Amino acid sequence: MAEPRAYLDYNASAPLLPAARVAVVAALDAANPSSVHAEGRAARRLIEDARRDVAALVNAKPDHVVFTSGATEAAVTLLSPDWRMGRAALRMAHLYVSKAEHPCLLNGGRFTPEKISRIGVTSDGIVDLGALALALAGHDKAAGLPLIAIHAANNETGVIQPIGEIATIVKAAGGVLVVDAVQAAGRFPIDMSVPYADYLILSSHKIGGPKGVGAIVAASDLMMPAPLVTGGGQEKGHRGGTENLAAIAGFGAAAREALIALGGIAAVRQRRDVIEAIVTELVPDAEIFGKRVERLANTTFFAIPGAKAETAQIAFDLAGIALSAGSACSSGKVGPSHVLKAMGCGEDGGALRVSIGAATTAEDVERFRKALAGIAARRAARERAA
């Protein structure tokens, strides 16, 4: 009988939580939540319950949560030059993003290329705060407001950005801050009740909910971007179309579980540290990226000198280990990491990402050890033969 596989790719998608599965199945037979009859009102209650649960995860107001089909739709909705404040039109003149962003931010949403500036990051993957401040100081305020979009935590390295400092710079420049909290939510506390971001982007399947649903969370209801999806006025007119009720219900259940799971982050970090100790032991010259700064407790991103990450990923897969070579957000495409390039690390052989969760076991870690030991042994044999 084959050994069970070890899933170490939570940053690509966390396993569906039992509570989320139950919520999805229970909502499949629900009526249209826009209907006014009793069945429709019951369906609407499921959505509003989920809205409260998602808001609670980041300590926001429930009526400031807008459900979308996922984080990418949320990003493209927010990254728009056209906004409204009440009935008045509002213009975002220019978009500023870091060079290490997820593609859904890096590509600029609805901004044209000449209206996008990409800010560098340090060798540790932290946004260059001086460069950001300088870019915003040169912004033409007469043309409209600056819009800044930054991830709270990088999906590849796990490096956590100093959002408080970034927010201070943005506010001083009169800008609007969008924070991609897809990897951060449920992995460290986020509190929208204190100055943090103007808008958050969340994704259900990163916290153990179903795929195909995400959310925009606003700090206030003063202004919102022009809708990307128009239609019947659902989500207060911010996102048209009948809501994906089953997925939203699952998202809410996952958010409840994620809020509780924040208490177990120390145990996840301890297991991650064991994995990094194994990497250092078996591959002493391995480079662990972002290790000098604050990172997500569940993530390690490392390179084996002289070994291609894609080849090593295949070897791990054959050994029963699921992990990523870089991120897993481009339809299965494996290529050079733009994050490492932004950090000035070059693109030699890429890097491997191990991302874990509360359900990761000591047995999973031992399987990782055995697989890496095999890869290290084959690498040593090639070097001796060379």
Cα end-to-end span (Å), the chain = 38
Q: Which of 17, 213, 329, 356 is catalytic?
A: 329
Which tokens go with 332?
A: 């299965």
H-assigned helices in the chain: 18-27, 38-57, 71-78, 103-106, 129-137, 163-172, 245-261, 265-282, 309-318, 338-342, 362-385
Which tokens go with 321?
A: 């280990």
Which tokens go with 40?
A: 């429709």
Measured on CA atoms in the order 168, 292, 266, 351, is the torsion positive or negative?
positive
Report the C-alpha gap between 248 and 287 in whole angstroms: 40
**Bridge partners, residue 146, by sequence:** 94
Which tokens go with 128?
A: 């260059």
Report the C-alpha gap between 257 and 320 in whole angstroms: 28
Query: Exposed, middle or buried by CB within 10 Å (0-12, 13-18, 19+), for 304?
Result: buried
Whether 104 is a known active-site residue: answer no
Which tokens go with 191?
A: 């509190």
Question: Are 213 and 66 within 8 A, CB to CB?
Answer: no
**Bridge partners, residue 202, by sequence:** 215
Measured on CA atoms in the order 65, 68, 72, 77, is the torsion positive or negative?
negative
Which tokens go with 24?
A: 């999805």
Active site residues: 329
